[in-house]
Amino acid sequence: MEDGGRKYLSKKGRAILISALFILVFSGLGLYYLVFSPNWQWLSFLDSSSSPTSTEVPLRDEAVVENDDGCVDCPISWLNGLPVANEKEASAFPVAVVIDNDVLARPQNALSLASLVYEAPVEGGMTRYLAIFPANIDVSAVGPVRSARPYFVAWAEELRALFIHCGGSPEALDLLKSANLYDLNEFYNGNYFWRETSVVRMAPHNVLTSGDNWRSYLSQRGLDEKKADSWLFKKEVKPEKTPEPKDISLRFSANFQALWRYLPESNSYQRYFNGVESRDLAGLIQAKNVIIQKVESRILDVAGRLALDLEGEGRAEICLDGICRSGFWRHRPGERTRYYYDDGAEIQLNPGITWIEVADSNTHLE
């Protein structure tokens, strides 16, 4: 069709021309990306399962837990709140070892590696430790192992632990007959222990055990996972401003004086004993959390052995992040002892080692 010498395309012709132009443009763009995008990323829009762009934030049904190692949603040890490799390690069976603190027993083996340590008074103005380890820990020697006392049995029972000791007081041995735990007494299971033969330590301060030994015992009995509840742990956040902490000082007797000093650079506490930095054969003894549990005591026998009142409630001082706050402890039959601030909130511990300093009325606190 003609109009004044100009030609016009029919509707059909115009449609064909537009289609041709579209094909030409699309083909040109495709050729461009083939040349300049060899990884074929330009085709990602065809994949409905592709990840969102960097400007999109996927929604989560629950909070993300991230530790200092950058691990997200990783398993956490029930004993110390630290990240571990898998769920089996997270629920590792607890092992409670009575460890000597006589001057002839120092420096101890592996005390600094325990997840949780109780220090408590015994007869003669001395102290002794109950050190709690996850069964899977790699330790070649732990000790020196000493005899049990009733309160060590009680704390081990709270954890349904394997309780490792070398004999015990009459009250402790009687309590072990009905305690809900697993008893490994060196007196009747000597093949899981050995005596150090060096002149540095002599009997009765030279009995040792190891991680391999207690794992062998547990394996024979099919025990591999914990049966107790965990305490609460928080994500560790170092204070923005360095607090002005005071030393935590406990005088059990003239020759047994413990002190904890805050280290701002690591947000932890260094232990001193009788004025000297505490070390074992693995290194310095430090803790992320220090709790002073105040209890009542009484003398049981002519040897001066003690009974500690661990039932019900009592006062406590809770120290972490360079700050000590007053609170209380509570223990109900069949449960773990738990620690609270005075407002009733259960404490949330920093991941890492916790020490419980058990102080009776004879212990001088500063």
Q: Which tens digits make up the pLDDT trace of 211-235? A: 999 999 999 999 988 889 999 999 9
pLDDT > 50? residue 39 = no
Of the listed ranges 13-17, 105-109, 208-212, the one predicted with least confidence: 13-17
Residues 163-176, mean pLDDT to the nearest whole number? 98
Which CATH number belongs to the domain containing residue 336 in this structure? 3.50.90.10
Query: Has residue 285 been placed in a domain?
Result: yes
Is there a single domain that holds both residue 325 and residue 266?
yes
Is there a single domain that holds both residue 196 and residue 326?
yes
Q: Quick one: pLDDT at residue 366? A: 81
Query: Has residue 88 been placed in a domain?
Result: no
Is there a single domain that holds both residue 41 and residue 102?
no
112, 285 Cβ separation under 8 angstroms: yes
Distance from the Cα of residue 314 to its chain's centroid: 24
pLDDT > 80? residue 27 = no
Q: Quick one: pLDDT at residue 225? A: 86
Q: Quick one: pLDDT at residue 227? A: 87
Share of the chain above pLDDT 90, in %: 72
Is there a single domain that holds both residue 200 and residue 260?
yes
pLDDT > 50? residue 57 = no
Is there a single domain that holds both residue 163 and residue 39?
no
Residues 167-184, mean pLDDT to the nearest whole number? 97
pLDDT > 60? residue 50 = no
Q: What is the pTM of this model?
A: 0.80
Query: Has residue 249 been placed in a domain?
Result: yes
Q: Quick one: pLDDT at residue 69? A: 54
Nearest residue to 164 (alpha-carbon basis) of 135, 138, 186, 188: 186
Residues 6+ apart with CB under 8 A from 2: none
Number of domains in the chain: 2
Query: Has residue 83 been placed in a domain?
Result: no
pLDDT band at 99 (very low <50, low <70, confident <90, very high): very high
Range of the domain at 37: 8-46
In the block, which residue shows the tokens 């902490």? 245
pLDDT band at 238 (very low <50, low <70, confident <90, very high): confident
Residues 166-172, mean pLDDT to the nearest whole number? 97
pLDDT band at 35 (very low <50, low <70, confident <90, very high): very low
Mean pLDDT, the chain, integer? 85
Cα distance between residue 74 and residue 90, in whole Å? 10
pLDDT band at 242 (very low <50, low <70, confident <90, very high): confident
Is there a single domain that holds both residue 17 and residue 151?
no
Q: Quick one: pLDDT at residue 45? A: 34
Q: Quick one: pLDDT at residue 40? A: 36
pLDDT band at 243 (very low <50, low <70, confident <90, very high): confident
